[in-house]
Amino acid sequence: MKKNFFGTDGIRGSVGSYPITPDFMLKLGWAAGRVLGAEKGSKILVGKDTRISGYMIESALEAGLSAAGVDIQLLGPMPTPAIAYLTRTLKAQAGIVISASHNPFADNGIKFFSAEGTKLADDIEHAIEAELEKEITCCDSAVLGKASRITDAPGRYIEFCKNTFPADLNLKNLKVVVDCANGATYHIAPKVFAELGAELISIGDNPDGMNINNGYGSTHPENLQKEVLDQKADLGIAFDGDGDRLIMVDHEGELVDGDQLLYVMAMAAYAKGGLKGGVVGTLMTNLGLEHAFMQHEIPFSRAGVGDRYVMEQLLEKNWRLGGESSGHLICLEQTTTGDGIVAALQVLAAVVEQGKSLKELASGMKQYPMVLINVRVSEKPDLDNHAEIQAAVAQAEAKLAGSGRILLRPSGTEPLIRVMAEGQDKSLVESVANTLADMVKKALT
């Protein structure tokens, strides 16, 4: 059943435009409180990133939750995975994150976590949407929810992160640049790496409410690359605005994306006999990663695009490691959701244990050239049953002759068809992608 508000990762949009408005957030707090806080004495945690609009949304959610009779514990600016962790360890009924992740400051959104620190199941999101259809009411004054602030939340999460790093190792011989995207990790990540012994240079750590993701962070790594080279650092680490996404930079200033980091972590676990099954990627994971795993007979599976679909496959297969090229990396041995700081620590543990640079560790995976072309369409077609398009795809795959792959998929948020081709021969991949995109455009516009 289609959802009206929830997307693949909560609710997101431009602040001031429905549904990212004070009145909707008030009602969302009430609806979420009715569904998630139905038990007597329920409490829900609320955290946020550093956007200026977080104050407005936090207050509206707080009022709605209180009207539903749910106690609220405010965490202030905290990374998304920190809220998942604290929801679980503080035995709350749910956690709410106010964030639009890697989007610019004028956007904001809401993510939810269950009592177990995982994303909400579809049926729970449907139940919240059903409550949103009703008139808002207020419970009796005697049972209104109360709000309090957890002042030691940063310290709790810092210690948790440090404890995911092997106790017998330290970072004393590493010079590390950390880019916090002027986001939610600004007061967390630098302390984690410094307390583990790294010589630390921190950038993107001065949020003003409007500079989140602006020229810094995982989607804008240019400043990090420059700083790594200028400081002659061993590596750089970049998070997105809410800290659930990770991109790294090697000592030569070259980007190391989510696929490469997944390879480094998987091979480190494999070498110690601790991989526990295989690895889950997505439809967009580089073919080079799949081929690298094939060389070691490591099982690999592709999920739909989105970390929730990676998580679904991990749980179905009882595997422990998965992620996306964008840097959403899930390490279920350490935590319950994608966590940029925790994932970075697993990569750094491999660097320290093996005494190799990040560049050396990532070099075992060859990234194949990939071309992605967006074709704007008037409406989303049924690609699987479009004979002309399927014939064109078959023709493109024949040209690649087993040395690459083709993927066509509709965008989940825009009227676009994404045409992707990848393979070992760059010029061939570009030719195939452009030919297929032209054909799709002709057939659908």
pLDDT tens column, 237-255 = 999 999 999 999 999 999 9
pLDDT value at position 224? 98
The span from the CA of 440 to the CA of 445, in Å, is 8
Structural contact between residues 145 and 94, judged by C-beta atoms closer than 8 angstroms: no
Last residue of a domain, one of 151, 179, 201: 151
Name the band, by pLDDT with cuts 50, 70 and 90, for residue 414.
confident
Last residue of a domain, one of 345, 362, 379: 362
The CA radius of gyration of the chain, in Å to the nearest whole number, is: 22
Give me the CATH number covering residue 426: 3.30.310.50
Q: Which of 42, 101, 114, 301 is catalytic?
A: 101
295 and 378 share one domain:
no
pLDDT value at position 57? 98
Longest pairwise C-alpha distance within the chain: 71
Last residue of a domain, one of 151, 172, 195: 151
Asked, for residue 268, whether it belongs to a domain, the answer is: yes
Asked, for residue 74, whether it belongs to a domain, the answer is: yes
The span from the CA of 263 to the CA of 292, in Å, is 8
Element (H, E) at 372: strand 370-376
Tokens of 402: 């087993």
Instruction: Give start and end residues of each alpha helix (H) in 296-386.
Output: 307-317, 340-354, 358-362
Which structural domain range is residue 408 located in?
370-444
How many separate domains does the chain show? 3
DSSP per position, 215-247: S-STT-THHHHHHHHHHT-SEEEEE-TTS--EE
147 and 161 share one domain:
no
Instruction: Classify residue 16 as left (phi > 0), alpha (psi -120 to 50) or beta.
Output: left
β-pairing, 416-423 vs 370-376, is antiparallel
Tokens of 110: 């809401």
The yes-or-no answer on residue 101 being catalytic is yes
Name the band, by pLDDT with cuts 50, 70 and 90, for residue 413.
low
55 and 111 share one domain:
yes
184 and 91 share one domain:
no
The span from the CA of 218 to the CA of 341, in Å, is 13
pLDDT tens column, 30-45 = 999 999 998 888 999 9
Residues in the chain, total: 445
pLDDT value at position 261? 98
**Which of 156, 346, 135, 351 minimizes the C-alpha distance to 258?**
346
75 and 215 share one domain:
no
Structural contact between residues 406 and 436, judged by C-beta atoms closer than 8 angstroms: yes
Asked, for residue 75, whether it belongs to a domain, the answer is: yes
pLDDT at 72 over 90: yes
396 and 417 share one domain:
yes
The span from the CA of 238 to the CA of 102, in Å, is 12
315 and 300 share one domain:
yes
Q: What is the mean pLDDT of the chain?
A: 95
DSSP per position, 149-166: E-TTHHHHHHHHHHHTS-
DSSP per position, 262-298: HHHHHHHHHHTT---S-EEEETTS-HHHHHHHHHTT-
Buried b (16+ CB within 10 A) or exposed e, 52-74: ebbebbbebbbbbbbbbbbbbbb
pLDDT value at position 412? 66
Structural contact between residues 165 and 343, judged by C-beta atoms closer than 8 angstroms: no
The span from the CA of 296 to the CA of 305, in Å, is 25
Asked, for residue 6, whether it belongs to a domain, the answer is: no
Q: What single-letter amino acid sits at 280?
A: V
227 and 345 share one domain:
yes
Asked, for residue 4, whether it belongs to a domain, the answer is: no
246 and 208 share one domain:
yes
Structural contact between residues 40 and 5, judged by C-beta atoms closer than 8 angstroms: no
Which residues, other chains included, contact 293 with Cβ-Cβ below 8 Å and sequence gap of 6+?
263, 266, 278, 279, 299, 300
Give me the CATH number covering residue 219: 3.40.120.10
Mean pLDDT of the 282-306 span: 95
pLDDT tens column, 135-174 = 999 999 999 999 999 999 999 999 999 999 999 999 999 9
Asked, for residue 3, whether it belongs to a domain, the answer is: no
215 and 289 share one domain:
yes
- Of 19-28, 340-349, 376-385, the least confident: 376-385
Asked, for residue 296, whether it belongs to a domain, the answer is: yes
**Which of 244, 239, 150 minimizes the C-alpha distance to 193?**
239
pLDDT at 379 over 80: no
What does pTM read for this prediction? 0.94
pLDDT tens column, 51-70 = 999 999 999 999 999 999 99
Asked, for residue 5, whether it belongs to a domain, the answer is: no
pLDDT value at position 1? 73
173 and 195 share one domain:
yes
23 and 72 share one domain:
yes
